[in-house]
Amino acid sequence: MFDNKEQIYEVYKEQSFSKAAKNMYISQPSLSAMVKRAEKSIGSEIFDRSSSPIRLTECGKQYIQCIEQIMELEHNFTNYMMDMKNLKTGSFSIGGSNLFASYILPPLIMAFNQKYPYIKIELVEDRTPWLIDQLSVGALDFIIENYELDEKIYERNFYQTEHLLLAVPKSFPVNRKLNSYQLSLKSIQDGTYLSSDVPSVPLGQLSQEPFILLKSNNDTSQRSLKLCKQSGFAPKVLLYLDQQVTAYNIACLGMGCCFVSDTLIRFRPAHDHVAYYKLQGNDAERNIYFYYKHNKYLTFAMKEFLQVIERHA
């Protein structure tokens, strides 16, 4: 029933027999025959071939879910066997957004690689919803995220706390009356701006300025809107974007204010065209975690990677 699960799963991913056959280096007639045999075995069609691209039937949806469960079990057993080989071979995958994949993960991966050079690490960069989906089906072993995931489904290891700041183009006249609230780059990099002696900007003073926000499904966007609401206004949004790094770059060009994490400012080169301000409220603070599925088998390599994270937190 599942003898050709890899080939059938490829058809599901590509939504095309021809593309799947090309990827699997087999002929399309051979692939079609494999699918037909599986459909005959289960007594129902897996794919609706009348649509373009092809779609799963209701039975096909259940069949693919079973394949994903089987593949995850096989993956877990393979990882178990890797432990038996004393880490002479093995791999795991980790996903993160553009910010985390660019600045936080590389030094952690390098530290791990120096100790275990034979372990291969796949670094995947994408948007949060896709990364969570891949983690849920077992396609990724870990993701790093500042969004709170369901603790009934995922285990998490704390990495660090980060804070949201407001970046305002220096060309905006509003900066003149807020001069006493501006933060130095050094205070952000060494964390001294978090002292209770350093005042937070009265955010309502910027209610008439244009803002660059992230799209609504992003945690930074949700927190930004809450902070503005708590200050008595709804921001005038010039652009909605996917990535924090992109929003920050556009703010640096002078187009609008943006909410940015101190994580990004610590790692990015200094920029003279924006002023930074501290924000007040619980929504300006959040934790960064490494997530993996509950009850997932962790290889020695994965456990050691989590130890590396703790040592570098």
Within a 10 A sphere around the Cβ of 227, how many other Cβ atoms? 20
For residue 111, the model assigns a pLDDT of 95
Average pLDDT over every residue of 12-25? 94
Cα(31)–Cα(35) distance, rounded to whole angstroms?
Answer: 6
Report the pLDDT value the prediction gives residue 159, as an integer from 0 to 100.
96
Report, in angstroms and rounded to the nearest whole number, the Rg of the chain calculated over CA atoms. Answer: 24
Q: Please give the structure tokens belonging to residue 52.
A: 């373009």
Q: For residue 312, what pLDDT is reported?
A: 87
How, if at all, do strands 91-96 and 120-125 pair? parallel
User: Residue 264: what pLDDT?
Assistant: 95
User: In the predicted model, what is the mean pLDDT of residues 19-38?
Assistant: 94
CATH architecture for residues 5-80: Orthogonal Bundle (1.10)
pLDDT for residue 71: 93
pLDDT, position 213: 98
- Residues 44-99 have pLDDT tens digits of 999 999 988 999 999 999 999 999 999 999 998 888 887 767 777 789 999 999 99
Average pLDDT, the chain: 94
Q: Are 287 and 125 in contact (CB under 8 A)?
A: no
Residue 3 main-chain phi, psi, to 5 deg? -60, -35
Domain ranges of the chain: 5-80, 86-158+288-312, 161-287
The whole-angstrom separation of Cα 39 and Cα 148 is 41
pLDDT for 53 equals: 92
| pTM for this prediction | 0.75
For the structural domain made of 161-287, what CATH number should be given?
3.40.190.10
> Would the CATH topology of 5-80 be identical to that of 86-158+288-312?
no
- The 10s digit of each residue's pLDDT in 250-281 is 999 999 999 999 999 998 877 789 999 999 99
Considering the segment(s) 86-158+288-312 as one domain, its CATH architecture is 3-Layer(aba) Sandwich (3.40)
What is the mean pLDDT of the segment spanning 115-123?
93
Per-residue pLDDT at 269: 72
Largest separation between any pair of C-alpha atoms in the chain: 75
CA pair distance 243, 63, nearest whole angstrom: 35
pLDDT tens, residue by residue, 121-175: 999 999 999 999 999 999 999 999 999 999 999 999 999 999 999 999 999 999 9
CB-based contacts of 14: which residues, under 8 Å, 6+ apart?
20, 23
Query: Do residues 279 and 166 make contact, with C-beta atoms less than 8 angstroms apart?
Result: yes
For the cut 90, the answer to whether the pLDDT of residue 8 exceeds it is yes
How far is 233 from 215, CA to CA, in rounded Å?
A: 18
- The residues with which 237 forms a beta bridge, in sequence order, are 211
**Residue 79: predicted pLDDT:** 83
pLDDT for 184-232, tens place per residue?
Answer: 999 999 999 999 999 999 999 999 999 999 999 899 999 999 999 999 9
